[in-house]
């Protein structure tokens, strides 16, 4: 009885851990990075399909988009169009004054990193566009100074 309960709990926890979004940990050519700010989401009607995050590490900022396993594994047609770092005058600015680190994605590319940007001394956010095959969705993280 105890073994059955343990296995059921382990299976439940494994399902919870693997069914959601992945945790990015290493930027290309950099290694371990630290997330800054909150995660932004791409989705509609209460559904979430992808996560957009901003990281710092190796003296640079990085933007990142990850399409969730449930979407990718389900064979859905999607393309992460691009990911960039937006540059802002301050955290109350209405529009970014520039962009850096743009990387374009490919059809059904599950994760996409921007290039590392030399923007640690400015206010930044991560921005991404994700194409569902029918619509383009956009998401931006909060501005971090």
pLDDT in tens, 120-140: 999 999 999 999 999 999 999
pLDDT per position as a tens digit, 35-49? 999 999 999 999 999
* pLDDT tier, 24 (very low <50, low <70, confident <90, very high otherwise): low
Q: How far apart are CA 61 and CA 23, in angstroms?
A: 17
User: Regarding predicted confidence, which is higher, 4 or 20?
Assistant: 20
pTM score, two decimals?
A: 0.83
Are 20 and 51 spatial neighbours (Cβ–Cβ below 8 Å)? no
Q: How far apart are CA 14 and CA 69, in angstroms?
A: 14
């Amino acid at each position: 009885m105890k073994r059955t309960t343990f296995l059921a709990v382990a299976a439940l926890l494994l399902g919870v851990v693997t069914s959601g979004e992945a945790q990015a940990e290493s930027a290309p050519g950099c290694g371990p990075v630290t997330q800054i700010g909150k995660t932004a989401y791409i989705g509609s009607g209460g559904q979430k399909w992808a996560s957009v995050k901003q990281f710092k590490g190796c003296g640079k900022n990085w933007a990142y988009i990850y399409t969730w396993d449930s979407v990718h594994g389900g064979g859905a047609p999607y393309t992460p169009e691009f990911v960039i770092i937006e540059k802002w005058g301050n955290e109350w600015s209405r529009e970014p004054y520039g962009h850096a680190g743009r990387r374009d994605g490919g059809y059904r590319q599950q994760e996409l990193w921007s290039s590392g940007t030399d923007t640690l001394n400015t206010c930044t956010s991560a921005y991404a566009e994700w194409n569902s095959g029918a619509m383009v969705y956009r998401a931006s993280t909060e501005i971090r100074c």
